[in-house]
Amino acid sequence: MTMTDQSPAPDGYHYALMRRAIDHLDARADAPPSLPELAAEMNLSPAHFQRIFSAWAGVSPKRFQQYLTLGHAKALLSERFTLLDTAHGTGLSGTGRLHDLFLRWEAMSPGDYARGGAGLRIAYDWRDGPFGEMLVMVTDRGICGLAFASEAGREATFADMAARWPAATFRADAAAVAAQAGALDTLSGEARLHILGGPFQIKVWEALMRIPSGHVTTYGEIASAIGNPRAVRAVGTAVGRNPVSWLIPCHRALRKSGGLGGYHWGLPVKRAMLAWEGARADADAPRRSA
């Protein structure tokens, strides 16, 4: 089925195009394609391609290409490196997060952690998002899990997340998820997080939440910020175990060399997130300074 220029396109469709565009741009890194060439690869007219990319990324496709290049991570590291401080807080404003979305979070009790979530009732739903299909899980206190299925598929994604709370009970409940995660639809308002992890993991995830949107830091900087400068490998493991991807922005952690490092839900997703946030940060800068 071909989507016409007049057909509406959900965010998941936009991300599917981004995923294909990344592959195509990688293959043509030495000679980037023109707008008509890239649009043709996506089976869209240039006008429609430009419209949906501008709506998704906040900038034109031509400008957006720079954010998709393999060198973008190194550029971020040199130009938008965040030196984390040791301040702690329970709320994070939209300027440091995702536009106007305000996050509040609390950790589950050590007892919940030790019991593997025994007694927890977790509702889940599959929702469309800017980086493809999302699995969103919630307790009555907030979002406890957010994962992306574009690389691994639904079954593997759900199994991965459910294994983090082996003793919890799970139920499909779109209404319960919407009540806790409705702010994700507009990236505005307040979202509450209810996260389960060990003390070291919680420290790492708290540090991640202090990285502003459009910026990055390194695994080593996170290790220093939490008072364990030699624990870089352990930090990397904790970053990979982040249960609330994107909202706790593990994609903003890079290797000191400027390499992307790993990403639990696939490096194409990480690259798209960094590109999306970088483009939107640049597009919003003139409005903030006006």
Positions marked active-site: 250
Q: What is the 3-state secondary structure (H, E, C) of the chain?
A: CCCCCCCCCCHHHHHHHHHHHHHHHHHCCCCCCCHHHHHHHCCCCHHHHHHHHHHHHCCCHHHHHHHHCCCHHHHHHHHCECCCCCCCCCEECHHHCECEEEEEEEECCHHHHHCCCCCCEEEEEEEEEECEEEEEEEECCEEEEEEECCCCCHHHHHHHHHCCCCCCEEEECHHHHHHHHHHHHCCEEEEEEEECCCHHHHHHHHHHCCCCCCCEEEHHHHHHHCCCCCCHHHHHHHHHCCCEECCECHHHEECCCCCCCCCCCCHHHHHHHHHHHHHHHHHHHHHHHC
